[in-house]
């Protein structure tokens, strides 16, 4: 089973890169399932129904969220109609769900979205919550389990990796927008601290650089915006799982808007 995971899609530039390259990537790598993080897809904050329809039309199968999941009012109804999830450790009374199960190549696949604690909105303990959810999935003999861990702190992500590496197929970090160089397969689990965003690469985490620079120089903030024109990047992880849900291969792919492609193979570790 071959799966593609796309990190934070940031605004129109990010959506344009998905539209331009995803279908070809699916053909080249024979992708069976595409997962992407939507939380910055509509002008940097949340996602609208219009933009969700656009992204699904490009070949995305499931979308995960984060702390900006709620920024567009469309999301409440979309939770009922679309394969869209939000962090599972939001309160149980929150709209939506944090886990989705589907059949891929006659295998049951579970996708979990979870959010870290550091600098994030108040939520349940992500480690206790996911530990319990994964145990339930394993008791139901679901072996293909993929986690989008949407978190700021690298330490939180490494703790999650050590906690779950023997029980889940992949833990893929999102949120910081800056891709890390630690892609690895650890004891059969595909892990990366942050996949990295898809969007403007010549600004500040996909946003126009003016307001971030102003804030750091004067301590006075403003409204973050997406540039109408910028240099763009598309970042994703492609990984392969065996019949037992263990990762056997993984690579990071970066595509620039000048069509240059860079690939990095995962290192294999035994901890």
Alpha carbons 46 and 40: distance in angstroms, whole number: 5
Alpha carbons 200 and 197: distance in angstroms, whole number: 9
DSSP 3-state of 262: strand
Q: The tokens of 87 are what?
A: 């962090």
Marked catalytic residue, from 68, 144, 175, 177: 68
> Is 150 one of the annotated active-site residues of the chain?
no
Q: Which residue has the tokens 């962090």?
A: 87
Q: Which residue has the tokens 């990537």?
A: 25
Q: Which residue has the tokens 């861990």?
A: 149
Number of residues in the chain? 271
Sheet holding 267-269, edge to edge: 99-104, 107-115, 144-150, 170-174, 189-192, 184-186, 267-269
Active-site annotation, residues = 68
């Amino acid at each position: 089973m071959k799966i593609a995971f796309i990190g934070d899609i940031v605004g129109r530039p990010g959506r344009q890169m998905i539209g331009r390259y995803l279908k070809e990537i699916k053909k080249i790598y024979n992708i069976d399932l595409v997962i992407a993080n939507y939380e910055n897809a509509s002008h940097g904050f949340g996602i609208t129904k219009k933009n969700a329809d656009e992204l699904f039309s490009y070949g995305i199968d499931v979308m995960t969220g984060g702390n900006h999941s709620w920024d567009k009012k469309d999301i409440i109804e979309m939770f009922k109609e679309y394969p869209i999830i939000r962090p599972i450790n939001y309160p149980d009374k929150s709209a939506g769900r944090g886990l989705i199960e589907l059949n891929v190549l006659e295998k049951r696949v579970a996708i979990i979205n979870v959010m870290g604690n550091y600098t994030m909105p108040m939520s349940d303990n992500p480690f206790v919550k996911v530990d319990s959810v994964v145990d339930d999935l394993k008791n139901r003999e679901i072996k293909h389990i993929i986690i989008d861990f949407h978190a700021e702190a690298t330490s939180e992500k490494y703790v999650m990796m050590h906690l779950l590496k023997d029980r889940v197929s992949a833990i893929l970090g999102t949120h910081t927008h800056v891709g890390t160089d630690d892609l690895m397969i650890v004891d059969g689990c595909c892990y990366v601290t942050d996949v990295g965003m898809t969007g403007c690469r010549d600004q500040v985490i996909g946003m126009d650089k003016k307001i971030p620079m102003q804030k750091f120089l004067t301590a006075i903030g403003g409204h973050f915006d997406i540039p109408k024109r910028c240099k763009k990047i598309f970042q994703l992880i492609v990984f392969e799982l065996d019949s037992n849900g263990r990762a056997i291969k993984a690579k990071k792919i970066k595509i620039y808007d000048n069509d240059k492609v860079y690939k990095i193979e995962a290192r294999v570790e035994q901890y």
